[in-house]
Structure 1
């Protein structure tokens, strides 16, 4: 077998756990900052558990690699260094050949003092913390004297490796040892080299009868220590009982004992077997916002496992919601929407947070007092979940029956409201007064939006969805909040006492109404026809009612249905078409005099007929009640 060159495999294959990059990101942000000096690492190689199909042992790195730790059972610790650059340009400009040679020169110098120190690794890296992408390249330098060209003379399996294994167990930090002529195992160093011609090494290779490239470094050091050595037996110890082997090599080709130069190798190849750096994108794991995003969706996604596998979470997540009113109802509705995964929520309100609000309205704290409600609610929602697209808009919704006082400002509010209605899929009507709900109801029909209405009493509540509007549709259309009224809403706020100006209600009523209004929306979104689904139909989550009326005093809930009233002041075709065609001119007339709305939709005629009927009843009653002329 003479004149056969000794072949080698890579010393190890790196495996970098995600926790390694997480710790690197933390250190870069909080500790290292712009410091690009070399950082020490500690890794481990488990030669007793080389994965099947792998030609060599794995070099494991995780968050603990940044610490100086003790080896676990079966581990062989290996020291290393991290060279992290501040820019991708610096990383790319590194002279990879020079970098590897410099590391090899350092290991040669350390190895001449202690051969066990010639095994180390180095990593060059760049951490892009904006995108949470990491670029890195691992090298385990292996060196060989220029004039050294070992040739194989003989080889064979090692029949009894037990004494070698026992020696390495008692010397966990040693990579190699020497065997004396008497068979004694001694440490490999310069002074002991003259006593032996047998070099024993731990082998990280799993290829049959082919050692790892670390062999070159140890043989070069042995030849450096014993220049006149011509033949040497190399013993390679592996974890498998039948896999350890020996090789007799001729090293006489070296002329002189001085180091004339080193041949160096060690950069790791990628999965395509190319000598190039690697890149890993861990944004979904390292960015806390992505972690929060995944955590928020966890409960929702667990529903699909067994409980409701057909539920469409995507339609919920992509739905944009406009909350008209940022008080008690608005705050609770927003929280439930967030829990369902809704990501775009806009608050509308023209009030400020008062000192009585925080205890009843969960998006406000004491420090919120005095701030605009809509903006404070949006800010609070983003603090809870930063990825939510929350906006607060301060405007006064124009109210029917409230005459124009500043037309320029009210036109601006109307146009902004119309813009918001068009930009969102769903409207929630959560205001205090009936007249504030009128215009959003009309606009919701005109723009074909889903409208959810929630209203509170002292110990009762109403949750309902407004029906869809089609001009040609006359029968069986679901009604709106105003369909049971025979008068248009008007100014109900003037001359009100304090208890009438505030929503006086039992504290739990708002939570019940808010949760059921959002659950109603989610059920609507699960219907293939969305809001066109009838109140008798069912979806994956259950019923799809029109109205829910709750009575807390009796702990009772009723599901009701109301068809659209042809003379409704908000959803009759006359009103909706008038709003579409005339816009602000129509709204201005309604604000200045609610009677114009009653005239348009036919309520004035209904009232007139009702008065005529009542007069006839009273006339007949008066006739029947006469006792005759008194004498």
Structure 2
């Protein structure tokens, strides 16, 4: 009797598996090296006909693994394939992958298979997969092990010619009947012929009951054979035979049907059309029952060596998909390494409108993209000038030529060039402003501009005020307050900046609210916004500021937004407690925070730390001061009188505010405040406090 040779498994890994492993690594495993379950499949051995020689060429003995194997609820393999269970261990470094105790891991998997032989569900094809995922270069190092038990003396075949054609043993008619009763996933099964000529199947674990009255010489063990070699059955048969010997040690031989016909040959096909094979396999008389045999099964690489394989997805992946995953990597690492509660999806889904595409706008847009924000719109009325590219990182020298490109459109196009996955759009438009009367011939265009601004604010969640004048911030402040949108404000001095979030509309608070209602950019003003642009000198027309200040202020503005988005109350997040002495003011940033700087859960904190109302930065002192400002009931920017007048009258009210210098003061009652103040001063007692009346009181 000839010794039986077996075809070892070769892995066939779908790129989807690596994508899914990447997600698991970042979102679930993190630094854990615990094993995770994976399902794989293998089908019947396949052959193709060589066009030149007409001979059948085997396609190997493949086990296929894909990303769905990690997902129990989505794993739905096709019929006529066998299911194999396995475990994946992903290492954090390539050194750990190389230095892992592979002998111990392999032995542990083999022990699991052997232990399963004493259960109702023997794991015939259990496997092990060790990996290292280089998520920066998208290279995946991996090594499969398919443990199979080999006895001290080889299994042998009774047939003189080795494996015989199943058709020569059973005949075409019986093979067709067998095909009709196969399980949906026929990894291994018991087979017997009934008295009426039909066939029945059962799981391997039912051996004693199923074959109770069946003579040993007609009992048949079937399995889905992944091998295409005519004389070498597939790797699973080794463990099937080991299980049968463990289960029935007195039975030294087994009739084996290696099923390879996933598609039954059509009627009239030649005899060779049936691929299934048959053999009577005999165990060595020296085999010892109850003792676990040794096991082999590490996969060889493409060079035939016992060594890992490597999958390089970087060269084959869609560059846009690569960019998307790479951009998200740092943020996801931040979440699982430091802040598990970080709601990245909330940030990514936030739609941002940037009013101003200059120095502040460019830096804000870049920082928003770094936080994963996908929707960014920019609005500006200027063109790129030669002084811009060195200070505004979304522009280049070529953008200044021929009069300069429109800033907003140019900035949006550059964002897409940096990262094609961003939805960026630019709009060229001037924002109508109080104190800047609109001529009759320009009223229609101003109305269109207002309608566009209203539409854009309505379509976005956050409005950034990044312009270079006070009055240009008024109209978007009113519209955003009416729609209860988040408003972020940033303004620069020479070596100072102010970053703030506008407080929500007063009517948006519940009736029970008793805390401070945060003000807007105009709440500290006792005059309405007026024309600050006419008759300016050169130094007034340009933003004269230290070069590093804009990037600091812009980043601070975005970080304040993200911190607020992480707060449970979002737009209504309260400001942190106000310090009461100058010494504490310099350390205000530590209030309510943990030792690592994360939010301590106190009032005015999120998981990222404080959520202040205003941040005033002093670059000359390298110091930030947190300020909390209350809503002013006569504010020209956020008071209910102004918002309700806008909602009731619409554009005519706005036009009146643009054209009449004193309109907003009359509307809010600031004019009455002036009169009251003047009256108080007039009635003040400036009498002498003693001494010679001829002496100078000052």
Alignment length, in residue pairs? 441
How has the CA–CA distance of structure 1 residues 122 and 489 changed in structure 2, closer, same or farther, with 3 Å as cutoff? same
Match for residue 366 of structure 1?
A: 397
2:612 to 537, 545, 559: 545
SS of 1:507's partner is coil
Shift of 1:580: 1.1
Q: Does 1:291 align with 2:322?
A: yes
Shift of 1:19: 5.3
SS of 2:341's partner is coil
Unaligned runs of 5+ in 1: 2-7, 23-51, 60-79, 81-99, 112-117, 124-135, 140-156, 165-196, 220-233, 249-259, 268-281
Contact 1:349 1:393 survives alignment (8 Å):
yes
Match for residue 610 of structure 1?
A: 677
Shift of 1:247: 12
More off after superposition, 569-578 vs 448-457: 569-578
**CA–CA separation in structure 2 for the residues paired with 1:122 and 1:593:** 85
Contact 1:450 1:466 survives alignment (8 Å):
yes
SS of 1:409's partner is helix
Shift of 1:322: 0.8
Contact 1:10 1:212 survives alignment (8 Å):
no
**CA–CA separation in structure 1 for the residues paired with 2:328 and 2:568:** 23
Match for residue 49 of structure 2?
A: 104
The 5 Å alignment of 1:443-462 reads 443-462=479-498
Q: Does 1:560 align with 2:655?
A: no
SS of 2:421's partner is coil
**CA–CA separation in structure 1 for the residues paired with 2:376 and 2:41:** 55
Q: Does 1:516 align with 2:556?
A: yes
Q: Over aligned residues, Cα RMSD in angstroms?
A: 4.9
> Which TM-score applies when normalising by structure 2?
0.54
Match for residue 341 of structure 2?
A: 310
Shift of 1:14: 6.8
How has the CA–CA distance of structure 1 residues 261 and 433 changed in structure 2, closer, same or farther, with 3 Å as cutoff? same
The 5 Å alignment of 1:6-405 reads 15-18=11-14, 103-104=48-49, 106=51, 109=54, 118-120=57-59, 263-265=272-274, 286-369=317-400, 370-405=404-439
How has the CA–CA distance of structure 1 residues 375 and 214 changed in structure 2, closer, same or farther, with 3 Å as cutoff? closer
Contact 1:9 1:55 survives alignment (8 Å):
no
How has the CA–CA distance of structure 1 residues 478 and 15 changed in structure 2, closer, same or farther, with 3 Å as cutoff? same
**CA–CA separation in structure 1 for the residues paired with 2:570 and 2:408:** 28
How has the CA–CA distance of structure 1 residues 265 and 13 changed in structure 2, closer, same or farther, with 3 Å as cutoff? farther
Shift of 1:561: 0.8
Q: Does 1:481 align with 2:534?
A: no
**CA–CA separation in structure 1 for the residues paired with 2:226 and 2:681:** 108
- 1:88-126 deviation digits (Å, cap 9, x = unpaired): xxxxxxxxxxxx7xx436486458xxxxxx545799xxx
- 1:547-568 deviation digits (Å, cap 9, x = unpaired): 1000000111100111111211
Shift of 1:17: 2.3
SS of 1:463's partner is strand
> Which TM-score applies when normalising by structure 1?
0.60
Contact 2:352 2:460 survives alignment (8 Å):
yes
SS of 2:427's partner is strand
- 1:395-426 deviation digits (Å, cap 9, x = unpaired): 11111100003111111101111111111111
How has the CA–CA distance of structure 1 residues 137 and 500 changed in structure 2, closer, same or farther, with 3 Å as cutoff? farther
Shift of 1:363: 1.2
- 1:578-613 deviation digits (Å, cap 9, x = unpaired): 111111111101111221011111111222333344
Contact 2:320 2:421 survives alignment (8 Å):
yes
Q: Does 1:525 align with 2:565?
A: yes
Match for residue 422 of structure 1?
A: 458
Q: Does 1:407 align with 2:443?
A: yes
SS of 1:321's partner is strand
Shift of 1:391: 1.0
Match for residue 432 of structure 1?
A: 468
